[in-house]
Amino acid sequence: MTEQKSREIGTLYVVATPIGNLEDMTYRAVRILGEVDLIAAEDTRHSRKLLARYAISKPLVSYHDHNEKQRLGGLLERLLAGENIALISDAGTPCIADPGYHLTAACAAAGIPVVPIPGPSAVITALSAAGVSTERFVFEGYLPSRAKARADLLRHLRDEPRTLVCYEAPHRLAATLADMLEILGADRALVVGRELTKLHEELFRGTVAEAQARFQAEPARGELVLVVPPGARPPQVSARDALRQLLADGGLSRREAVKLIAKEYGLSSSDVYRESLKLMECEDSEDS
């Protein structure tokens, strides 16, 4: 995809910007921001500081959670008229727990090219240095601010086999750690990334209980990323033992128990049925 302005239709550039250290700006991001006709920024006052650092002087328009519906039509018109627009957020990659999804979706529907200009992301930055398995992970954005919703989500994620990554606000960290202590357990491993790439960057590694003690003694400030590795999984019950327990409970018929175990363990019903007969023979011999 060319980065030159089209004669017929414009291009939306989704441009990642630093999450803290302004030196993390890429050469390509600086060039694109200097070439577009308009920059749609989450907070224009915040973005002007970044643009001034790189001597970029381009028109700015605000585009955030509270005005994206009102701005969307105007931005699409300008793109369809041939203007190139850059979308940036206050920090990191737009559309990742940030405004922008509606604009990129509308551009895709209208046939307007959308070009990502990759760069910093707090999620990837935290994972890269956390020292935990990153082969598979799940990103939950910001945890719910309401206590019940947050607790319900943590219960749902308690046995998640992938590494969990989420954002949290400093003023809610104490409540979140208290919920994690109760639901995930005091010994569950936890990494807290604070002020990543900034002067007071910190990567706390320990348990939930240790994190609670650390941040009670010194309340957190700045942006936070929480990384929770999978917990130790309980030992799996064998299919034979599970079948024996179902038959002993007597709540299901033999046929129902066989069908349930076959489905749960991915076995053939005939093999499970034969195993049930062996168990019955063993029980009969023990009783005689």
Q: Is the pLDDT of residue 133 over 70?
A: yes
Q: Are residues 243 and 205 in the same domain?
A: no
Q: How confident is the model at residue 233 (pLDDT cuts 50, 70, 90)?
A: low
Q: Measured on CA atoms in the order 118, 119, 122, 128, is the torsion positive or negative?
A: positive
pLDDT band at 287 (very low <50, low <70, confident <90, very high): low
Q: How confident is the model at residue 50 (pLDDT cuts 50, 70, 90)?
A: very high
175 in a domain, yes or no? yes
Residues 79 and 165 in one domain: no
- 201-207: long-range contacts, CB 8 A cutoff, minimum separation 24: 201/20, 203/126, 203/129, 203/130, 205/130, 205/131
192 and 262 together in one domain? no
Same domain, 40 and 108: yes
- Contact of 134 with 127, CB cutoff 8 Å: yes
Range of the domain at 62: 12-120
The answer to whether position 102 is within a domain reads: yes
Same domain? For 252 and 279 the reply is yes
Asked whether residue 199 falls in the same domain as residue 245, the answer is no
**Per-residue pLDDT tens over the stretch 51-60:** 999 999 999 9
Q: In the 3-class helix/strand/coil scheme, how is 165-206 assigned residue by residue? A: EEEECHHHHHHHHHHHHHHCCCCCEEEEEECCCCCCCEEEEE
Most confident of 27-36, 213-222, 254-263: 27-36
**Number of domains present in the structure of the chain:** 3
Are 89 and 42 in a shared domain?
yes
Does residue 59 fall inside a structural domain?
yes
**Is 5 domain-assigned?**
no
Question: How many CB atoms sit inside 10 A of residue 173's CB?
Answer: 21
Mean pLDDT of 106-126: 97
Q: Are residues 245 and 204 in the same domain?
A: no
Of 189, 204, 228, the one marking the end of a domain is 228
Same domain, 35 and 90: yes
Give residue 5's pLDDT. 46
What band does 234 get if pLDDT is binned at 50, 70 and 90?
A: low
Task: Choose between 281 and 284: higher pLDDT.
Answer: 281
3 belongs to a structural domain = no
CATH code, domain carrying 160: 3.30.950.10
Claim to verify: residue 199 and residue 269 sit in the same structural domain: no
CATH classification of the domain holding 23:
3.40.1010.10
20 plus 95 within the same structural domain: yes
Residue 1 in domain = no
Distances (CA, A) of 6 to 75, 86, 230, 271: 16, 15, 48, 65
pLDDT at 2: 46
Does one domain contain both 101 and 20? yes
- Measured distance CA(169)–CA(153) in Å, rounded: 17
Determine, yes or no, domain membership for 135: yes
User: Could you tell me the CA-to-CA distances from 188 to 82, 169, 211, 278 in Å, in that order?
Assistant: 53, 21, 10, 41
Domain closes at, from 120, 137, 153 = 120
Predicted confidence (pLDDT) per residue in 78-97, tens digit:
999 999 999 999 999 999 98
- What is the C-alpha separation between 257 and 145, in angstroms, rounded? 43
Q: Could you tell me if residue 177 is inside a domain?
A: yes
| pLDDT confidence band for 242 (50 / 70 / 90) | confident
pLDDT above 90 coverage of the chain, percent? 73
pLDDT of residue 264: 76
- End residue of a domain, out of 178, 194, 228: 228
